[in-house]
Chain A
Amino acid sequence: MGAEGIRVEGLEREFKGGIRAVDGIDLEVAPGEIYGFLGPNGAGKSTTVLMLVTLLPPTGGRATVAGFDVVKQGPQVRRMIGAALQEAALDDFLTGWEHMDLQGGLHGLSRKESRARGGELLERVGLVDAADRKVGGYSGGMKRRLDLALALIHRPRVLFLDEPTTGLDPQSRSALWGEVERLAREEGVTVFLTTQYLEEADVLAGRVGIIDRGRIVAEGTPSALKAEIGRVSLEAIPSRSEDRERLRAALAPFGKPAAHSPRGEAVRLSGGAEQLADVVRALDAARIEVAELQLHQPSLDDVFLEKTGRSLEGSDDSDAEAPEPAAA
């Protein structure tokens, strides 16, 4: 493992009252890789990030970031990393530039260096025009972009992004994705990204770790994980919603239930796509009128369902304003 990656062995964090938020996880992230850490709210994602960025001591196991031990070499780790933690903690009464000067100064940049580097970063995240305005007037997307720029001011080699796009509109999300991708590809920055959006992990991450209840339940490239599930799933939406029960019964013989379908039913076809004709005949025989019938390639949500028995979206209890990911 290169000096600029992440290595985690048996990492644990137990809180008061015996709650094990992180319950022994192992993972490795190669330099320049984007690692997606995927899981529902409360799965232990943020706790893991806090330990890796040295803000929370682990209660067990060990971890090195950029070759430094997160417990014994906190200051060295912090020098090598940048982090944009949840909710982009910015000061509403300061301007973008003032944030830049503060952050750059505290990282030991001279005012001149800080200005040069800050200007470059503000340019890159498209905030040059807004940089003299107070952050209180920024949109959610602008705040996240400023947060990202601030995290990069001291040229970190490892970047931690904790739910960087939660609550953002689709345009802001893809703008942020583009920048993160560029950082990894062109500058070789290692990125550790947590998300509860399958699409985000799918689009961005070279490898994905799925965490549930403090444990990693699956790990690999998105395509390998999906291949492990293998089979396509079929989703049917009845014309009349009262037919859903009967639809479920009619589909049951063709395979196990697949990840949730908001308005219909889905099964993972045990015999593959060739079964499609049989399904249509069965629905016809049962006189169930179908408004939509679709075949889906396996998604990360299917992987999550397979490994945990629950659907990722179904278990998501975050605020309703979060955009619904266009999963699978």
Chain B
Amino acid sequence: MPGEPHLARQIALIAGRSVSRTFRQPELIIPVILFPLILLAVNAAGLSSVTQLPGFPTDRYINFAIVVCFIQGALFASITAGTELASDIQKGFLDRLALTPARRWAVLVGATFGGTSVAIVGTVIYLAIGLIFGVTISTGIPGAVLLVALSIYVALAFAGIGSWLAVRTGSPAAVQGMFPLIFVLFFLSTMNLPAEFIEKDWFRTIAQINPISFLIDGMRSLIITGWDLGELLPCIGVATAMIVLFYGLAARAMRQRVQRT
């Protein structure tokens, strides 16, 4: 009589399915990769003159702007992850999985792999294109490796938000409808200028407490300033806190969604 497979195998099976399924839908992937690059092209070119402001941390705006791509890629990936999971719920595929011995945790974690793998591909492409167009990473190759790792970690954290919304609402449209809110949070961050260059007090205050600013600043420090634990640790801390919080919420929502005995 077959029994419950090892947890790692459960996750691998569900993750494998999530990845195959995602990469068979190019319309899910291409915008995720292209859109941040278009914004990078437009913003890096349009705002390049701000590097002339006295005290601006770098003289190449693309060094400053490239990180926004990573975070945007992560955000889009989480929309993908959330939408996919929500449509599994809507179509009853979650019930199919719930009837096997698979753990709820394995289902939840495995389902985020599709979106996260898109973010991984995106990160590598953004970095390659950035390097071609003159991005210089002050921490060198080890810093670039850490940058990619952090980018994936952040993508996992955002995917937690997507999963939570998906399990909570069970509706792909609802998941997509919530994301403009996160987009607003994006704009109210240090994505375009460092906090000390934001003149309006209220805006600066929001940008300084905005968790997205911590993510951006930490990753940015690897490119511009060099090894700076004062920037890196808050970045890792915020991402870890997001992972704990949103996967916790998602797991709780999952227990209500799948009332398996």
Task: Tell yes or no: B252 within 8 A of A by CB.
Answer: no
* B14 CB → nearest A CB, Å: 8
Is B101 touching A55 in the complex (CB atoms < 8 A)?
no
Find the A residue at minimum CB distance from B92: A89
Contacts A91-B93, A93-B25 hold; do A79 and B260 have CB atoms under 8 A apart? Answer: no
Q: What B residues does A101 contact at CB under 8 A? A: 13
Nearest Cβ on chain B to A107's Cβ, whole angstroms? 5
- Which residues of chain A have C-beta atoms less than 8 A from B100's C-beta? 78, 103, 106-107
Chain A CB within 8 A of B1 CB:
yes
Interface size on A, as a range, is 35 or more
Pick the contact of A107: B2, B21, B25, B91 (CB < 8 A): B2
CB of A181 within 8 A of chain B?
Answer: no
Asked if B95 lies at the interface with its beta carbon under 8 angstroms from chain A, I say: yes
A57 touches B3 (CB 8 A): no
Give the complex CA separation of A108 and B13 in angstroms.
11
A313 to chain B, nearest CB (A): 27
Contact A107 B101 (CB under 8 A): yes
Count chain B residues whose beta carbon lies closer than 8 angstroms to a beta carbon of A.
30
**Chain B minimum-CB-distance residue to A86:** B92
Give the docked Cα–Cα distance between A90 and B91 (Å): 8
Q: Which residue of B lies closest to A72 (CB)?
A: B261
Residue of A nearest to B24 (CB): A93
Whether A93 contacts B21 by the Cβ 8 Å rule is: yes
**How many angstroms between the C-alpha atoms of A150 and B99 in the bound complex?**
11
- Within the complex, what minimum Cβ distance (angstroms) separates A88 from chain B? 8
Contact of B13 among A74, A91, A105, A113 (CB under 8 A): A105
Are B101 and A75 within 8 A (Cβ)? yes
For A104, the closest partner residue in chain B by CB is B2
Does B10 count as interface, using CB distance less than 8 angstroms? Answer: yes
**Cα distance, A85 to B95, chains bound together (Å):** 9
Taking the closest CB of chain A, its distance from the CB of B156, in whole angstroms, is: 22
Q: Is A83's CB within 8 Å of the partner chain B?
A: yes
Instruction: Identify A78's interface contact among B91, B92, B99, CB under 8 A.
Output: B99
Task: Please measure, in the bound complex, the distance between the C-alpha atom of A164 and the C-alpha atom of B21, giving whole angstroms.
Answer: 26
19 A–B contacts from the bound complex (CB under 8 Å): A54-B261, A57-B261, A71-B261, A74-B260, A74-B261, A78-B100, A78-B101, A81-B99, A85-B96, A89-B91, A89-B96, A93-B20, A93-B24, A102-B13, A102-B17, A106-B14, A107-B5, A108-B4, A108-B101
A-B contact sample (7 more), CB < 8 A, given A78-B100, A106-B100, A154-B2 = A55-B99, A79-B1, A86-B92, A91-B93, A94-B17, A105-B13, A107-B100
